[in-house]
Structure 1
Amino acid sequence: MKELAHNKTSEPSLSKLNLWVMAIATGVVVANLYYNQPLLGKISAEFGVTEAKAGAISMLTQIGYATGMLFIIPLGDMLRRKRLIMFDFVLIIISLLLAGFAPNIESLMIASFLIGATSVIPQLLVPMAAHLAKPEERGRTVGFVMSGLLIGILLSRTVSGFVGEHWGWRAMFFIATAIMFALWGILFLLLPEVQPSYKGNYKSLMVSLVHLIRTEPLLRLASARGALCYATFGAFWTTLVFLLEEPQFNAGSDVAGAFGLIGAFGALAASYMGKLTDKRDAFQITTITIALIVLSYIVFGLSSRSIAGLVVGVILMDLGVQATHIANQTLIFALLPEARNRLNTVYMFTYFMGGAAGTYLASHAWHVWKWNGVVAVGLSFSVLALLIHTRFLKRNREIRAIPTVNTDETTLN
């Protein structure tokens, strides 16, 4: 397997404008994955299908994203990053148009999978920011870009809920198409280029993913934590709209979407955790953030008839999930600088498969046991994440800081 050591040629500097462009772009693109969640009730009604079948749209979007992560993101180590991003935008636009014109639920499911598979640009931009950042500022830089992504995730629901309530669910996909056209032009003008460091072929590139999984225990830990935590996230947001449509609330998609504004506070607070991981024990911080997710589901269990309780639970859950995610990515980006896109591929593939599992199980739990079933799913995943995390710490007491790597000497064989 041929691999170049870290390229010593000068890289473009990471300016504040570059950083802001990356943060905004990650938020706007990742929003494509979540527009459908507040709209599931309206989609279910239009096509005459059950809520569980409508929930499959969200699940397939996440599976698509995991698939795109697996087959597209490793190319970021092999091809020029900006050129890859520009081409991928064309595929995103086609996928959004297919969703907007979908004549039936099956067509919408296929389009949703494609939207997920193509909207992987944020996972090219986050490693790019980490690559261009100074080592002592990497956690803060990742946290800043991730803040844009996290706010995009949460506000996407607010926007789509409002659009769906006033203009129908199809309008959201057409609006998203126009946004992608505009963003393509902005990134073409302002995004820096990063030269690839990997000189092998695509087959060896994909084989190297298996090597990374086998040889990097911290990558396995971060992936397991991320998948389980994101499963709790998908479980809640997919079924929230169904809960709010129940007689005790009688709310529409706009109210479900408005919860994204509440979750944005958690995302903003989570960005602060990126700074802490540069200075404090990241493992201790992660213990706290996973415990917040467990607490949030206890609150959800007591709040099936309380908007105030749901609000408190959303803040706790989003803070816990997003802060854990930032800590995980800061951890893996410090392992092998020349393999950051592949490390991120392993992590994010696992992450979104976890989200898909949470979405699937929660949708079916809702169908059978309603909100109590959803809470049971979320509690199970979050408690398991905490157990895996603490067990790893007990077995590896010597690991108390993110490892550093000599980037001039390290190669992946």
Structure 2
Amino acid sequence: MPVQENRPGDRDARPGGPERRSDRFERSEQEKRAGQEKRSVRARLLLPLIAVCTAVTAANIYLAAPLLPLIAHDFGSTPSAVAWLASVAQFGYATGLLFFAPLGDRVNRRRLVAVLSLVAAVALLAGAAAGGTYALAGAVLIASAATVVPQLLVPLVAERAPAHRRASHVAAVIAGLFTGVVAARVVGGLAGQAFGWRAVFVGAAVLTTLLGLATAFVLPRETRRRGGPLFAGLTALPGVVRHSPDLWRACVRQAGMYGAWSALWTSLALLLTETDGYGMTTAAAGLFGLFGLAASVVAPLAGGLVDRFGAAKVVRSAYVVAAVSVPLFWLGGHVMAALCAAAVLVHAALVASHVANQTVALTATSAPATANTAYVVAGFAGGAIASALAGTAFSHWGWGGVCVVAGAALVLGWTATLARRR
């Protein structure tokens, strides 16, 4: 019988050939399914993890505020004399936003998030070891400047969200931010009273490391980055704001709103703990921050209202609520019920305004990352200036002076935008 030869190109005729090809196909399918499942898990974790990471990093910015009485006692000073540390944190955050947030369009975002988280953690540890006010201020400045991870990720959240749900997705991140603010006051105050303010800084460093690295891990891989100079986004900021009236209005109005909130909230520990005020302990004063949970509740509601009625109506309503809260805060210098009501109102106003204005900022231009940087820098610059003025006002004129600073911030934020519109 003639012997059948196997030709080199006849793979099916090779012994075991079909089995090997089948095995390869099956392995390929398994690897593909595993990759899809891994990407699906990361996608589901992305928004919740960004929200939690936002809470932790926001807490870092306000970490010193509820601990001012303990810091002052440790350094042999008075709480009002170290109140400027709160504004240092906000100036640091604004500076970090100005330089680092635009880099999200030009460098690997996963690597940037991981590096900034580690820098913030190291700075917090340095703050825990600080031997004086100025050393602590330097550590707080660096930690706050590196704590810009949420604002690197908000444009990503807005980009991936459906258009009709964009404000709601942004609101989820903002809810995390204000939850962190509450945690900084409540947990920070309780832990500071129990273990000392230095232990609070160490704990914040540990959480920042864990959440920052976890967030970097779940971020989608980016293969293409925009070319050009590294800080081109920074140099483009003035032009982007100048050519977008909607963005400019959002920046100024949020600066006024955030300035009013910062003046009141960063000075509140002084009113609650000083003997001329309510004479509370640091832990008791920290529990007052639970009223800030109103912000976490209002955020998703505000997102739905912006999606349904538009940002302009929500911002107007927020300014009315904030204007009502200022005289209530003044009355709260002597009446605890008024102080509690004012704390709820000012948080509701701030978060509603923030959701609306940030949604406008993210959609007003063709450069959302740069526009978001301009918006958040404007807000935190307004908050830092108002906090610094409020500390001086409290030293000279007491709680009434703080309320005047807050009212002036609201007036400037609203009237400046009216003048630009005309």
Relative to 1, partners in 2 of residues 1:15 and 1:251: Cα closer, same or farther, differing over 3 Å?
Answer: same
Task: Check the 8 A contact 1:291/1:386 in 2, yes or no.
Answer: no
Which of the pair has the greater relative contact order for Cα pairs under 8 Å at 6+ separation? 1
Give a deviation string over 1:272-310, Cα, whole Å, max 9, x none. 111211111321221010111111111111111222211
2:60 matched to which residue of 1? Answer: 32
Provide closer, same or farther for how the CA distance between residues 291 and 193 of structure 1 changes in structure 2, counting only shifts above 3 A: farther
Cα deviation, residue 149, structure 1: 1.2
Q: How does 1:61-100 map to 2 (within 5 A)?
A: 61-100=89-128
CA distance in 1, matches of 2:376, 2:224: 20
- Relative to 1, partners in 2 of residues 1:332 and 1:240: Cα closer, same or farther, differing over 3 Å? same
Partner of 2:307: 278
C-alpha contact (below 8 Å) 2:256/2:382 kept by paired residues: yes
Aligned counterpart, 1:332: 361
What displacement does 1:195 show?
5.2
- Equivalent residue number for residue 391 of structure 2: 363
Alignment partners' CA distance in 1, 2:382 and 2:335: 28
Distance 2:142 2:63 in 1: 14
In the TM superposition, 1:255-334 aligns within 5 A as 255-334=284-363
Q: Tell me the TM-score normalised to structure 2 length.
A: 0.86
Between the aligned partners of 1:83 and 1:203, the Cα distance in structure 2 is: 17
Give, in angstroms, the shift of residue 271 of structure 1. Answer: 2.6
Structure 2 match to 1:59: 87
Q: CA RMSD in A?
A: 1.8
Paired residue type of 2:403:
V
Q: Conserved in 2, the CA contact under 8 Å of 1:78 and 1:196?
A: no
Q: Secondary structure at the match of 1:72?
A: helix
DSSP 3-state at the match of 1:372 = helix
Distance in 1, matches of 2:327 and 2:223, equals 47
- Counterpart of 1:110 in structure 2 is 138
1:234 maps to 262
Matched, 1:378 2:403: no
2:156 corresponds to which of 104, 111, 128: 128
Match of 1:251 among 280, 289, 300: 280
Preserved CA contact (<8 Å) 1:47 1:104: yes
Q: 1:220 offset after TM fit, Å? A: 1.1
User: Deviations along 1:6-53, whole A, 9 cap, x unmatched?
Assistant: xxxxxx889442211111111111211111101011111211234343
**Equivalent residue letter for 2:203:** I
CA distance in 1, matches of 2:332, 2:224: 50
> Aligned partners of 1:381, 1:69: CA distance in 2, in Å?
22
Distance 1:196 1:219, change over 3 A: farther
Distance 1:123 1:297 in 2: 29
Q: Does the 8 Å CA contact 2:174/2:299 hold for their aligned counterparts?
A: no
Residue 190 (1) aligns with residue 218 (2):
yes
Summarize the Cα distance change of 1:67–1:378 in structure 2 as closer, same or farther, 3 Å threshold: same
Are 1:353 and 2:381 matched, yes or no?
yes
Note if contact 1:81-1:195 (Cα within 8 Å) is conserved in structure 2: no
Deviation per CA, 1:364-404, whole angstroms, max 9, x where unpaired?
A: 000001011011111111122233455566x4xxxxxxxxx
Structure 1's unaligned 5+ residue stretches are 1-11, 396-413
Q: How far, CA to CA, are the matches of 2:382 and 2:63 in structure 1?
A: 19
Q: Percent identity?
A: 32
